[in-house]
Amino acid sequence: MIEIATSPTTTTLVIAGELDLQERDQFPGIAARVVGLRRQLLVIDMCRVTFMDSTGAAFLISLADSGAKRGGATVIRGADERDLFVLEVCGAMDLFRIDNEHRCEPATPATGFHMVTPRMNATDRVDRRAI
């Protein structure tokens, strides 16, 4: 899922889930909307991206390239090392500013509950897959 938010100077894409070959059909429409907004700054929020392949990277690269041709900048925030590695392998890191200060909100609100691990006796066996 990709959501677009705008302010007078910034377009923000909030991406959740997979950014890959399977999602490519939506990329042209989103790219057209983003380019049509003509904002100087594009912020790509990747806090909730679960997987990105080279198709997803190509989508981000095309957005950054379009912005750079108009004199704009593209910032990536919340990307994990794996996603940044994909962009690096594609030779595209120079198209992006990386926001290392951003801290992602938790995917679910804090409940106040803590996981309790059972006490074990020496004779107890625990299936770790169930914990």
pTM (predicted TM-score): 0.74
- C-alpha span between 70 and 47 (Å, rounded): 27
pLDDT > 90? residue 128: no
Contact present, 16 and 45 (Cβ < 8 Å): no
Q: Whose CA is closest to 108, among 12, 16, 6?
A: 16
- C-alpha span between 73 and 67 (Å, rounded): 6
Contact present, 93 and 99 (Cβ < 8 Å): no
Lowest mean pLDDT among 53-62, 71-80, 99-108: 99-108
- C-alpha span between 104 and 50 (Å, rounded): 14
Q: In angstroms, how far is the first alpha carbon of the chain from the final one?
A: 30
pLDDT > 70? residue 2: yes
Instruction: Label the pairing between strands 41-52 and 10-19.
Output: parallel
